[in-house]
Amino acid sequence: IDMRSTIAFYIIALLTFWSCTTEPEWKPLNLLEYGMPITVLAPDSADVKKMNLVLQEDISIRKGDDYYVQIFGATATTRDAVELKESLKEEVLNNPFFSEMVEDGDYGFIYKDQIDSVHSTYGFRYVRLIGDKEYVFQTGLIGSFSEEEVRKMYEAVQYREE
């Protein structure tokens, strides 16, 4: 094999790799104008909706079929974020569709639901305590998400401004 075909092979391999890894960059989205002192990473021009429920606020951020994050804000029931996460985990574990815990961190987790023998979906919960408020981040209530999509959203809600 001559040098030119070796170089051509590496260039093609590199371009293929780049085309597979180039995704739209998510940008910081500050939710203060919606009443939450939180910034998450979200796709550009994501649709943000706010609902005031009786005892909590609900903000949903959506773009396409692969980004749907819901955030519930309420008066804190505990000052212990790990305790709050554990109670959310208990709820998920008791869901009849729950299949497996994929990742379990201090303030959040990723899980898999098996809807039937063919269909599965992934979800997450993540908690933050700010002042006297608790914020619960999760996948949107509508839609089915792959593990990769959920991991990206899970990381996006953990964004902290420097």
pLDDT at 142: 87
pLDDT digits (tens, 9 = 90+) for 46-80: 999 999 888 899 999 999 999 999 999 999 999 99
Asked if residues 66 and 24 have their Cβ atoms less than 8 Å apart, the reply is no
Give 21's pLDDT tier (boundaries 50, 70, 90).
very low
pLDDT at 1: 56
pLDDT at 36: 93
Three-class SS state of 27: strand
Residue 135 Cα distances to 85, 140, 146, angstroms: 11, 15, 24
Give percent of the chain with pLDDT exceeding 70. Answer: 85
Asked if residues 139 and 68 have their Cβ atoms less than 8 Å apart, the reply is yes
Which residue type occupies 19?
A: S
H-run or E-run covering 1:
none
Asked if residues 105 and 130 have their Cβ atoms less than 8 Å apart, the reply is no
